[in-house]
């Protein structure tokens, strides 16, 4: 018998796809120029991130962003245009104090808008999540926002300097 089918990957070895995490994050700015953020406390460290998380099998990145915002904040959003693409390669940042994951990541940042004024309680907050806040874009540099290079493009959203179209942010720590 001559079998020309490709070899099957071993169950013990991770496939390249298993080593890459794709996540979707939402950039939600209200009428007052405030950005929706998730505050985390891990030990004595406090930091902020945009709401979002892993894209699950069978859902689009936009659907993942909507689901994650709802789970983490209780807010329902409508996802719009893709703003930025960010990569994270952990082996290039071995001593970075805020990134502990060994998983390579591709993060997609979408503009999003609330679809209602009310919120309900978060249904699945992250383990280290301590608060949901609205912070003014103009003073974003006062916070520890991760990834570190994201504050500048976010602040630019409220000005005429905002980039038109998606921007590749590269490997930000």
pLDDT digits (tens, 9 = 90+) for 123-162: 767 777 889 999 999 999 999 999 888 998 998 887 765 5
pLDDT at 21: 93
Q: Compute φ and ψ for 99, nearest 5 degrees.
A: -120, 115
pLDDT at 144: 93
Flag whether 21 is in a domain.
no
pLDDT band at 63 (very low <50, low <70, confident <90, very high): very high
pLDDT at 10: 43
Flag whether 12 is in a domain.
no
The more confidently predicted of residues 2 and 64 is 64
d(CA 16, CA 14): 6
Flag whether 23 is in a domain.
no
Flag whether 102 is in a domain.
yes
pLDDT band at 107 (very low <50, low <70, confident <90, very high): very high
Flag whether 103 is in a domain.
yes
pLDDT at 3: 47
pLDDT averaged over the chain? Answer: 82
CATH code for the domain in which residue 115 is found:
3.90.79.10
* CA separation, residue 145 to residues 120, 130, 155, 163 (Å): 25, 15, 12, 20
Flag whether 36 is in a domain.
yes
* CA separation, residue 89 to residues 13, 96, 141 (Å): 20, 11, 24
CA atoms within 13 A on the CB side of 65: 24
**Is-cis flag, bond preceding 147, omega within 30?**
yes
Flag whether 5 is in a domain.
no
Q: What is residue 64's three-state secondary structure?
A: helix
Nearest to 15 by CA among 6, 3, 24: 6
Flag whether 111 is in a domain.
yes
d(CA 146, CA 38): 10
Q: What is the pLDDT of residues 29-46, one digit of tens each?
A: 998 999 999 999 888 889
Q: What is residue 40's three-state secondary structure?
A: strand
Q: How many domains does the chain have?
A: 1
CA atoms within 13 A on the CB side of 26: 30
Structural domain of 159 = 28-164
């Amino acid at each position: 018998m001559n079998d020309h089918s490709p070899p099957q990957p071993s169950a013990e070895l991770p496939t390249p796809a298993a080593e890459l995490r794709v996540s979707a994050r939402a950039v939600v700015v209200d009428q007052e120029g405030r950005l929706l953020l998730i505050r985390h406390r891990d030990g004595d460290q406090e930091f902020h991130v945009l709401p979002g998380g892993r894209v699950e099998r069978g859902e689009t990145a936009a659907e993942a962003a909507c689901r994650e915002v709802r789970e983490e904040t209780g807010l329902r959003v409508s996802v719009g245009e893709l703003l930025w693409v960010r990569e994270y390669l952990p082996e290039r940042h071995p001593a970075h104090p805020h990134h502990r994951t060994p998983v390579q990541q591709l993060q997609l940042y979408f503009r999003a808008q609330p679809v209602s004024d009310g919120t309900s309680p978060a249904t699945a907050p992250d383990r280290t999540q301590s608060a949901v806040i609205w912070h003014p874009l103009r003073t974003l540099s006062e916070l520890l926002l991760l990834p570190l290079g994201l504050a500048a493009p976010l602040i630019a959203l409220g000005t005429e300097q905002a980039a038109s179209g998606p921007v590749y942010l590269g490997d930000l720590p």
